[in-house]
Chains A and B, each alone.
Chain A
């Protein structure tokens, strides 16, 4: 990874102003992300993880510092950055296909080919029978898969996942994080994923950024190297790796969680 990083975050700080005072959410964050990397971001709840993603996506302006995507400053949302939310946010009145095409539609890029492409992708990822169904007819896992395809189809250079599985029940969550992990690797996507699930972060990421309590600063960046059984990478198999526990304990200690 000697190349130029695809995403550069430089000296990023964010302060929120409220009527009852100001809150420092993020303080002086620097981070480089390289192409094809999956970066997990963990931190105590309410530490400003989501704020960080929103700034990177160009949805909110930082108080100081900057975000550079391929050397270009991100100041407003761009089609090069895809965002995935906690819940699927599918539109109930649109069929699955129309939901998947939403981004392209807004960017005026719906063509016969892109439609075909969307259908193929739905087919590939097991939603072929539900192309013309409404979201209400799908299970939570299927809906989240559709949401991922909706994000991937606009071909973003960088994907931001904001606790993408936290609305799912535990079993579905394991299965879907495994699937999504495989999809992201297969499509060679660069990903920043916020999660509060340490195991999920270790199983999916190449590197993990540990944030401190508010105001969020980078406490540590941990490179994850797992010996995967049989050499075939998948998030579920990663959980069986001997080093898994070691990383888990390390991150747990760094998070320094105290329940009062």
Chain B
């Protein structure tokens, strides 16, 4: 650090670190490729029953067929929209409710046990009721997705709001800040990192809501493809849907990470 010209020893050190990183990445990729190849070989040699396991080549064939027919874009698109609406609305609603609780200490105390109980309840258990109440369209699915993420958002955000340093609040008071100013200048900005990490969790939770909702409603979406594939014993379809689901949720998670790194320079 102190010198611009890197010493031989330091160069070796850096190289060693870099080398280790490369080996880890290469091993990770190799495991994946090996697993796919073994799967394919086992399928071709009839070592496994492709009726129950499908095979990589069959999955690719199914993928090409559905892309060409335009079905895939339709189903994946619907699920993505439901998910995005679900987790953004869940996060937004959760933040609003957490704000209200921060505002009123009395109601925060009153509602605390209810929140704890709601938090322990597996939200997907409510899906059948929600779908009956709201309707069997995409609305019911979206509400299921919202319900899965909203309670944890309220709890995370409220905890973040109340963990703000008392002296910082005191500082704002000495400047004559109102409660609203305390919130907008201090409490909320301080909680943005917590909000983004909650958002990341919510993407996953919201997918659970969406998939369960689609299982029940069974009209369209990735969840529908999986249930349908199960009913007609089309394992190619189930496996392909699972792969797509994995890829889509990873991409969404990464997108939030990119936004996080871009806007939260101060947080590192």
Give the B-binding residues of A (Cβ under 8 A): 54, 57, 59, 76-79, 81-83, 85-87, 89, 91-93, 102-103, 105-107, 134-136, 154
**Given A83-B171, A134-B265, A77:B176 Cβ within 8 A:** yes
Whether A89 pairs with B192 at a CB distance below 8 angstroms is no
| Contact across chains for A93 and B170 when beta carbons are under 8 A apart | no
CB distance from B89 to the nearest CB of A (A): 26
B135 within 8 A of A: no
Q: Among residues 144 to 179 in chain B, which have CB atoms less than 8 Å away from a CB atom of chain A?
A: 165, 167-168, 170-177
Question: Of the candidates A76, A106, A134, which one forms a contact with B185 in the assembled complex, judged by CB atoms under 8 Å apart?
Answer: A106
The answer to whether B174 touches A87, judged by C-beta atoms less than 8 angstroms apart, is: no
Report the minimum CB–CB distance from B57 to chain A (whole Å).
Answer: 51
Q: Is B170 touching A83 in the complex (CB atoms < 8 A)?
A: yes
Cα A86 to Cα B171 in complex, Å, equals 11
* The 3 residue pairs across chains A and B that have the minimum distance between CB atoms: A83-B174, A103-B175, A106-B175
Of residues 172 to 206 in B, which have CB atoms within 8 Å of A's CB atoms? Answer: 172-177, 181, 185-186, 189-190, 192
B109 cross-chain contacts in A, Cβ below 8 A: none
Instruction: Tell me if B106 is interfacial: C-beta within 8 Å of chain A.
Output: no
Q: Which listed residue (B175, B186, B190) contacts A107, Cβ 8 A?
A: B175
Interface residues on B, range: 20 to 34
Q: Is the CB of B170 within 8 A of A154?
A: no
Number of A-B contacts (CB under 8 A): 58
Say yes or no: A106-B181 contact (C-beta < 8 A), given A92-B267, A93-B190, A134-B266.
yes
- CB <8 Å contact, A102 and B175: yes
Q: Mark B79-112, 1 if CB is under 8 A from A, else 0.
A: 0000000000000000000000000000000000
Which single residue of chain B is at the shortest CB-CB distance from A151? B174
- In the assembled complex, 21 residue pairs joining A and B whose CB atoms fall closer than 8 Å, in A order, are A54-B170, A59-B174, A77-B173, A77-B175, A79-B175, A79-B176, A83-B171, A86-B167, A89-B168, A91-B168, A91-B185, A91-B186, A91-B189, A93-B189, A93-B190, A93-B267, A102-B175, A102-B185, A106-B172, A106-B177, A135-B266
Complex Cα spacing A107 to B174, Å: 11
Q: Are B170 and A106 in contact (CB under 8 A)?
A: no
Give the residues in chain B near A54, CB-CB below 8 Å.
Answer: 170
CA distance A103 to B176 in the complex (A): 8
Assuming the A-B contacts A92-B267, A134-B266, are A78 and B171 also in contact, with contact meaning beta carbons closer than 8 angstroms in the complex? Answer: no
Could you tell me if A89 and B171 are in contact, using CB atoms closer than 8 angstroms?
yes
Q: Are B181 and A85 touching (Cβ within 8 A)? A: no
Q: Max chain B CB contacts within 10 Å: which of A54, A76, A91, A136?
A: A91
Chain B residues near A93 (CB-CB < 8 A): 189-190, 192, 264, 266-267
Q: How far is the CA of A170 from the CA of B61 in the complex (A)?
A: 72
Show the binding face of B for A, using Cβ within 8 Å: 165, 167-168, 170-177, 181, 185-186, 189-190, 192, 264-267
Tell me, in angstroms, the Cα distance from A154 to B185 when the chains sit together.
17
Q: B167 and A89: CB pair below 8 A? A: yes
Q: Is the CB of B176 within 8 A of A78?
A: yes
CA distance in complex: A76, B181 (Å): 16
Instruction: Select from chain A the residue with minimum beta-carbon distance to B264.
Output: A93
B contact residues around A107 at 8 Å (CB): 175-176
Q: Is the CB of A59 within 8 A of B168?
A: no
B-chain residues with CB within 8 Å of residue A83 when the two chains form the complex? 170-171, 174
Q: Is the CB of A154 within 8 A of B175?
A: yes
- The answer for the CA separation of A77 and B172 in the assembled complex, in Å, is 10
Measured in the bound complex, the distance between the Cα atoms of B170 and A102 in whole Å is: 13
List A contacts of B181 (CB < 8 A). Answer: 106
Q: Distance in Å from the Cβ of A130 to the closest Cβ of chain B?
A: 14
A59-B264 Cα distance, complex, nearest whole Å: 33
Q: Would you give the shortest CB distance from B267 to chain A, in whole angstroms?
A: 7
Q: In angstroms, how far is the closest chain A Cβ from the Cβ of B10?
A: 24
B177's nearest neighbour on chain A, judged by CB, is A106
Q: Point out the residues of chain B lying under 8 angstroms from A134, CB to CB.
A: 265-266
Contacts of A59 in B (CB 8 A): 170, 173-174
**Cβ distance A152 to chain B, nearest Cβ, rounded Å:** 13
Across the interface, which residues of A come within 8 angstroms of B167, CB to CB? 85-87, 89
A78 vs B190: C-alpha distance in the bound complex, in angstroms?
A: 25
Q: Kindly provide the distance from the CB of B97 to the nearest chain A CB, expressed in whole angstroms.
A: 24
The residues of A that contact B165 with a CB separation of less than 8 Å are 89
Chain A CB count within 10 A is highest, among B170, B171, B175, B186, for: B175
CA distance A79 to B176 in the complex (A): 7
Per the bound structure, the CA–CA distance linking A59 and B175 in Å amounts to 11
B residues less than 8 Å from A86 (CB atoms)? 167
With a CB–CB cut-off of 8 A, which chain A residues contact B189? 91, 93
